[in-house]
Amino acid sequence: MTAVAVATEKRTGYLELFFDLVFVFAVTQLVRVLHHDHSAGGWLDTVLLAWLVWWAWSQFAWAGNAIDLDRRTTRVAVLAVTGVTLLMATAIPVATTGDGGLRFAMPYSVVRLSGLGLYWWGLRGEPEHRAALRSYLPIAVVSPVVVLAAGAAPADVRPWVWIAAVAVDVASAVAGGRGEFRVAPGHFAERHALIVIIALGESIVGIGATVVGSELTAAVLIVTAAAFTIIGVQWWGYFDWVQAAAEHRLAAEADLRRRGRVARDLYTFGHFPIVLGSVLVAFGMEEAVAHPAEHLEAAGLWSVGGGLALFSAGFVAGNARAAGTLLVERAVALVAVVALAALLGPRVSATVLVVVVAAVLAGIAVVETRRRG
């Protein structure tokens, strides 16, 4: 068997699932940031922190795809980094404050730099793959250092330094596209499917926790059912066919250099709006269930409309990159949720808005499923 054929058989291991548990908590913490600050600055902080968390997870997804995680030394290293990641996650809500910057930045930088070191060390017996990593590492190591500098910067300057770190991350990924990364399609697709489940799970947890703290009125039951329908449609939109189609597209690319670029664009870049959108929807659904008879405030409307739009945009952009075609139904969904949130949201209760959005998205999903069936 060829090296590529063997690589495609790799699947997600229990160590990676354990590592992901910390990111379940990190997603919850991101929602807390938005709960605490509904201003434009709070939105910017949430998006930037979401990117930084995403990039830390993504870096380990790439490393775990390439190296042997069954070695005991590697397991110990990953477990140690998982503990540091937990410290990072605890500091997400205070990362924007004057005293909390370094509390977030220090463990974050350790996680990122440790991940890069583990990636390099794990490929010590594969000189060709290491050669590809050389195109990525020199730039990638700069970003965690910039984040560390942001932690020491004044709170009002910190977001701008984070933006610089994001720019470095993008530049490192673009530079890495020149190398021949050996990507195992099944494992890579599975890892990203699991992080989507984690993001959707935050909405389920948020809805459930809000219902527990509310009086079980008819309005609460209706809005909860509609909110769950939206989350169910999101799940269907990803797992009915997109997840398998994306994996097939990645596996069908025989050229290693092009496969690495497809993995980068379709998953590392393309899945970020999907995950971020799910985080924002979680906040919006919590607000709707907590105040079913009231109009959603601006932050809630932005979360519902913008979150669902981002979720659809990830698929539209990803499919355009992978297949060169437009997903018409997803594009319609993107426009529809923004229009409903902007035009209908300020005029109706949260319950009515969520019910209408759920009905529209479910209808679009049915049309798409039948057309592709």
List the structure tokens of 60: 């380990």
Q: How many residues does the chain have?
A: 373
Which contiguous run of DSSP H or E holds residue 352? helix 350-372
- Using DSSP's 3-state secondary structure scheme, residue 107 falls into helix
Domain boundaries, the chain: 3-176, 185-372
Q: Does domain 185-372 have CATH number 1.20.20?
A: no
The whole-number pLDDT of residue 101 equals: 92
Q: What is the pTM of this model?
A: 0.93
List the structure tokens of 217: 């009125």
Residue whose entry in the numeric block shows the structure tokens 């992978």: 322
The DSSP secondary structure of 41-86, one letter per residue, reads HHHHHHHHHHHHHHHHHHHHHHHHHHS-TTSHHHHHHHHHHHHHHH
Q: What are phi and psi of 15, to 5 degrees?
A: -65, -40
The whole-number pLDDT of residue 37 equals: 86
The whole-number pLDDT of residue 352 equals: 96
Residue whose entry in the numeric block shows the structure tokens 């979401």: 50
List the structure tokens of 273: 């709006």
Task: Please check whether residue 292 is in contact with residue 349, taking contact to mean a CB–CB distance below 8 angstroms.
Answer: yes
The whole-number pLDDT of residue 325 equals: 86
Spell out the per-residue pLDDT of the chain, length 373, in tens.
333 433 446 888 899 999 999 999 999 999 988 888 888 888 999 999 999 999 999 999 999 999 999 999 999 999 999 999 999 999 999 999 888 999 999 999 999 999 999 999 999 988 889 999 999 999 999 999 999 999 999 999 999 999 999 999 999 999 998 888 989 999 999 999 999 999 999 889 989 999 998 888 999 999 999 999 999 999 999 999 899 999 999 999 989 889 999 999 999 999 999 999 999 999 999 999 999 999 999 899 999 999 999 999 999 998 888 888 889 999 999 999 999 999 999 999 999 999 999 999 999 999 999 988 6
Which DSSP state fits 9?
T
CB neighbour list of residue 15: distance below 8 Å, 6 or more residues apart: 69, 75, 78, 79
CB neighbour list of residue 18: distance below 8 Å, 6 or more residues apart: 79, 82
End-to-end CA distance of the chain: 35
The whole-number pLDDT of residue 231 equals: 96
* CB burial readout 9-19, b (16+ within 10 A) else e: ebebeebbeeb
CA distance 355 to 359: 6
Which DSSP state fits 360?
H
Based on C-alpha coordinates, what's the Rg of the chain?
A: 21
Which DSSP state fits 296?
P
The whole-number pLDDT of residue 224 equals: 95
The candidate with the shortest Cα–Cα distance to 234, out of 175, 312, 165, 182, is 312
Task: Please check whether residue 51 is in contact with residue 310, taking contact to mean a CB–CB distance below 8 angstroms.
Answer: no
> Cα dihedral sign for 24, 28, 31, 36?
negative
**pLDDT tens for residues 76-86?**
999 999 999 99
CA distance 300 to 318: 27
Residue whose entry in the numeric block shows the structure tokens 């769950």: 228
The candidate with the shortest Cα–Cα distance to 235, out of 185, 270, 194, 290, is 194
